[in-house]
Amino acid sequence: MDRLCDPQYEVSAHYLIAEDGACYEMVDPKMRAWHAGVGSWRGLDDINSRSIGIELANDGSSPFAALLMTALEGLLRQILEQFDLPPKAVIGHSDMAPGRKCDPGRRFDWRRLALQGLAVWPNVTATTPTDADRFCESLVNFGYPDLGADVLLDAFRQRFRPHETGPLDDWDMAAAADLSARFGVDRDPNTA
């Protein structure tokens, strides 16, 4: 909290959630905060001006505290309802600035949020042959900045396959294709 309030660091967030579940509003969510830095999502830059930043108290290598996750779920429900946002609008710093940011990290439970309708998760029913160019196209259409297969694979796996290692595989391909088809930028707005 001290760092987020210190002008020397030029960083802030709308909310900070502590390990014990305490939630602090640092900046009015209708105002701009300085939490995202340089990055893009869904082809848009200046993420600070078009997002609500939530900082989570975690060292990046430990599991997220249960009370923190419960508080985050409540806050996300409130934000999504208040601003009429879909679950696909919930992203991490590692999504909008792959290769530069790695939070919330591999220990963050994105699937838990998705099961509650607070984020998205791929629906993989069959695998797809590996093709790095198609993988990148799918992830860029989903929202990631176009930074190449290696950077995108790492960012994608941080969120959707945090314990997976090795080269791009058929499951990665199928998941990326599903995310693109269901939540992508060029998706037909008349479909779910």
Beta bridge partners of 55: 16
State the DSSP string of the chain: -HHHH-GGG----SEEE-TTS-EEE-S-TTS----S-S--BTTB--GGGG---EEE---SSSPPPHHHHHHHHHHHHHHHHHTT--GGG---HHHHSTTT---S-TTS-HHHHHHTTSS-----SS-----HHHHHHHHHHHT-----HHHHHHHHHHHH-TT--SS--HHHHHHHHHHHHHH-TTS-TT--
Residues 66 and 43: their CA atoms lie apart, in Å, by 34
Q: Within a 13 Å sphere around the CA of 175, how many CA atoms are in the beta-carbon half?
A: 14
Catalytic residue among 10, 19, 25, 55: 55
State yes or no: is 55 an active-site residue: yes
Structure tokens belonging to residue 112: 């838990």
The catalytic residue positions are 55
